[in-house]
Structure 1
């Protein structure tokens, strides 16, 4: 039976490079992984005052994460850190105190940037947030995809070199998930 992987895309833009990378990872993954993008753009900002009567969007999000066997984050870097919508998703899933949906789910992080750095700072900030909520993250191989605007063919497919990198990465992630 395939492991259900919740994919969080840090960019909310419909045609974001990160969403395209997430879709490419889904295509390249084996039948042993079932990757599903869990939308985060509709989540109201976390506010502890709402914990007693949470918005339906929080409840639905928490349910999807709770039922997942693993977490995969594909994200850009905004201002050298984690995008606000992604941080909000981490917070919504970790609350109310004592009811976090994150613990023990094997995680992986892929970041990209139109610059050569590939979202390096965001990658480490995302890791910091997920380590705190007890998501064991795959350490190697790391995935920083630089120049993300230049990794696509005219037909929208991923260039071969990046496709090979992503295939190796998702295969390593599958092995990581299977350890749990």
Structure 2
């Protein structure tokens, strides 16, 4: 796998001022030289319905096209009720349907998240990893980026000011690029 690695970043929060959207914005500035990180906004994806899966909405077609064009995926997830948000699960479901047309298939994945709690989205990230199993995605195991007590790590404009968190995101992106190249070289 030669050239820049194309990473599609997806934040699992719809709130404009969310810490996870802000963490994804920080990742944009921390991406290594040999990567191109692009963001896909899932806010306009309608609720999944099998009635529509044979003729999916335009935003779903765009999600699947951009997913397929990417070399890797970066999920940035909040944690709601010990799990991933419904809007993120909805986007994942749309990307995998109809059965046999899974746009996520074989994609390397980086996972990170931010929360105001002490666990920094640990449970949501582990649940997201379970989803990756069935979808035949390859999540990177380390480093883990779990930004706990996020209210103290971002400024009022949404900039990630915590140096440790910035370093962990940078390490995750470098590792994701390496992981993507390693998996790509096995399939060539």
TM category, shorter: over 0.9
SS in 2 for 1:144: strand
SS in 2 for 1:80: coil
Aligned residue number for residue 47 of structure 2:
45
Aligned residue number for residue 169 of structure 1:
172
Whether 2:135 is the aligned partner of 1:128: answer no
Preserved contact between residue 10 and residue 86 of structure 1 (Cα < 8 Å): yes
Distance 1:142 1:161 in 2: 12
Instruction: Note the C-alpha offset of 1:41.
Output: 1.2
Aligned residue number for residue 112 of structure 1:
114
Matched residue pairs, number? 180
Instruction: Note the C-alpha offset of 1:23.
Output: 1.2
Distance 2:25 2:50 in 1: 33
Aligned residue runs from structure 1 range 53-92, under 5 A: 53-92=55-94
| Matching residue within 17, 20, 30 for 2:19 | 17
Instruction: Note the C-alpha offset of 1:90.
Output: 0.7
Instruction: Note the C-alpha offset of 1:164.
Output: 1.9
Preserved contact between residue 83 and residue 124 of structure 2 (Cα < 8 Å): yes
Preserved contact between residue 24 and residue 158 of structure 1 (Cα < 8 Å): no
SS in 1 for 2:138: coil
SS in 2 for 1:72: strand
Where does structure 1 lack aligned partners over 5 or more consecutive residues? none
Aligned residue runs from structure 1 range 137-156, under 5 A: 137-153=139-155, 156=159
Whether 2:4 is the aligned partner of 1:2: answer yes
- Give the superposed CA RMSD: 1.4
SS in 1 for 2:51: helix
Instruction: Note the C-alpha offset of 1:169.
Output: 2.1
Preserved contact between residue 77 and residue 83 of structure 1 (Cα < 8 Å): yes
- When normalised by structure 2's length, the TM-score is 0.90
Where does structure 2 lack aligned partners over 5 or more consecutive residues? none
